[in-house]
């Protein structure tokens, strides 16, 4: 049986895979599972529900609310709000359950449902499995005063912005910032938080109409931000995605500052303040070798995980680490958030700029990105990638050729018959050459 829950909740085409009926049934099942595990014991349960700006979020919100209220759960509607804001408010309001309706950086036709447990953390895998197993089972419905009440929480954005601004230690006056909101969930909260902290903010792509989320803008389309930063003479630009759990940056000249560079900036800032637990940062195997080299030179250890923010979070929790993230711009600062938070990330980079008086380009120069080439090889038996002796020998030969100035990573896709060949080298030409050779070996040895 194919699982509904992926690494980031249930996601798919809205009104295709993700129907109102499924949203309602998932919410009822979640209420039942949490009730039986004691989450609701001793009090009247309540949940918070937020969504991004997709038009499909309206009917999905109605379905989720109907499911929860019919199962006897009171609901606070948060409205259009970033995923990390829903996570924060789940904790700060003492909710038993948080629900976020978003498909993050996916195109508008998709949507998703993410459930959060008390404290605003992701549900355990075992609970997600139990929710799927309990879908559409017969149940005794509460009646009369036992059904849930539904209210609007009108101050959600203000509370979230105040939480973010409390993390900033230096006045941001004098810093001009362009913020690309991806016509998404941070279109109001993002500019407000940065302005409240003192920054001069030019908000772009902050006019959602239900259809234009992530459309040619945001963290997956940085060209819009690059142009705007130069045109407005800004000090820095930040691009969020549709639910604002990731953030990428652009310097004053329009050059991209990626998630690895942002992670390096924040690691040094936290270490300087004595807030980087065990002088360690958590990253994934896709982080650029230049990041690892820079951290090693600074005396900071790097713990690397599989790709995905859930794996970063698991490692951070296991070691009580305070900073982790991905090249894609998911940055997790566990002292302030339970998930990646793009607005928080932007504020912390601005705080570092204000504290040091340095530009983001200067701060990012602590690491030198090695050229990175990724080649997708489709139509292959990915299961044999880790055992084929000829392929393994080719990888070993390539690694020896690159020495300490590069690396090779073969990653089978989790969803299709495809192997990803990633190569880093001192020059782009060398990286392309090695990646091409290895891709040829993958095709020759693993073709279906």
Q: Which residues, in sequence order, are bridge partners of residue 101?
A: 51, 113
Does 245 carry a binding-site annotation?
yes
Query: Using CA atoms, how far apart are residues 405 and 396, in angstroms rounded to an integer?
Result: 15
Half-sphere exposure of 226 toward its Cβ, with a 13 Å CA cutoff? Answer: 12
Does 260 carry a binding-site annotation?
no
Strand locations in 123-226 (E): 150-152, 176-180, 200-204
For 419-440, b/e burial (b = at least 16 CB within 10 A) is bbbbbbbeeeebbebbbeebbe
Q: How many CB atoms lie within 10 A of CB 164?
A: 26
Does 440 carry a binding-site annotation?
no
Two tokens, residue 109: 């036709």
Residue 103 is given by DSSP the state -
Which of 115, 148, 147 lies closest to 131, judged by CA?
Answer: 115
Residue 434 is given by DSSP the state H
Two tokens, residue 368: 């030198």
3-class SS at 97? strand
Which of 85, 94, 97 lies closest to 159, judged by CA?
Answer: 85
Q: How many CB atoms lie within 10 A of CB 79?
A: 15
Which of 218, 331, 343, 312 lies closest to 264, judged by CA?
Answer: 331
241 CA to centre of own chain: 9
Q: Which residues, in sequence order, are bridge partners of residue 116?
A: 98, 122
Query: Using CA atoms, how far apart are residues 424 and 429, in angstroms rounded to an integer?
Result: 10
Start-to-end CA distance of the chain, whole Å, equals 24
Does 104 carry a binding-site annotation?
yes
- Catalytic positions, written as ranges: 104
Q: Which residues, in sequence order, are bridge partners of residue 294?
A: none
Phi-psi region of 246 (alpha: psi -120 to 50; beta: other; left: phi over 0): beta
Binding residues: 104, 241, 243, 245
Binding residues for Mg(2+): 104, 241, 243, 245
């Amino acid at each position: 049986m194919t699982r509904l829950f992926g690494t980031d909740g249930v996601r798919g085409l809205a009104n295709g895979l993700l129907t109102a009926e499924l949203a309602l049934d998932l919410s009822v099942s979640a209420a039942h599972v949490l009730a039986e595990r004691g989450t609701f014991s001793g009090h009247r349960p309540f949940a918070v529900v937020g969504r991004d700006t997709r038009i499909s979020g309206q009917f999905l919100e109605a379905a989720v609310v109907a499911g929860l209220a019919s199962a006897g759960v009171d609901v606070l509607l948060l409205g259009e709000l970033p995923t990390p804001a829903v996570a924060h408010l789940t904790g700060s309001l003492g909710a038993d359950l948080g629900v976020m309706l978003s498909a993050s950086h996916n195109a508008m036709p998709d949507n998703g449902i993410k459930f959060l447990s008390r404290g605003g953390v992701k549900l355990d895998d075992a609970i997600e499995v139990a929710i799927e197993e309990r879908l559409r089972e017969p149940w005794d419905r509460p009646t009369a005063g036992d059904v849930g009440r539904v209210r609007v929480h009108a101050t959600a954005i203000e509370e979230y912005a105040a939480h973010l601004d409390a993390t900033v230690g230096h006045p941001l006056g004098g810093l001009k910032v362009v913020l690309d909101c991806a016509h998404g969930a941070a279109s109001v909260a993002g500019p407000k938080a940065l302005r409240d902290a003192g920054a001069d903010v030019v908000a772009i792509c902050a006019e959602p109409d239900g259809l234009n989320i992530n459309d040619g803008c945001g963290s997956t389309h940085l060209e819009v931000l690059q142009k705007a930063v130069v045109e407005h003479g800004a000090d820095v630009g930040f691009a969020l995605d549709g639910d604002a759990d990731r953030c990428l940056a652009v310097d004053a000249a329009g050059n991209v500052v990626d998630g690895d560079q942002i992670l390096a900036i924040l690691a040094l800032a936290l270490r300087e303040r004595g807030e980087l637990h065990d002088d360690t940062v958590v990253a994934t195997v896709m982080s650029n070798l230049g990041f690892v080299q820079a951290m090693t030179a600074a005396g900071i250890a790097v713990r690397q995980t599989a790709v995905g923010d859930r794996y970063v979070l698991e490692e951070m929790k296991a070691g009580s680490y305070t900073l982790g993230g991905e090249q894609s711009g998911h940055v997790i600062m566990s002292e302030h958030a339970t998930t990646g938070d793009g607005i928080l990330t932007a504020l912390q980079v601005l705080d570092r700029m204000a504290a040091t008086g340095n530009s983001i380009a200067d701060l990012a120069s602590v690491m030198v990105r090695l050229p990175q080439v990724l080649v997708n090889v489709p139509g292959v038996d990915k299961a044999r990638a880790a055992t084929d002796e000829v392929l393994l020998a080719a990888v070993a030969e390539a690694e020896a050729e690159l020495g300490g100035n590069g690396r090779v990573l073969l990653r089978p896709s989790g969803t299709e018959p495809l192997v990803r060949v990633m190569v880093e080298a001192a020059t782009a030409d060398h990286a392309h050459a090695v990646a091409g050779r290895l891709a040829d070996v993958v095709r020759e040895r693993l073709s279906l």
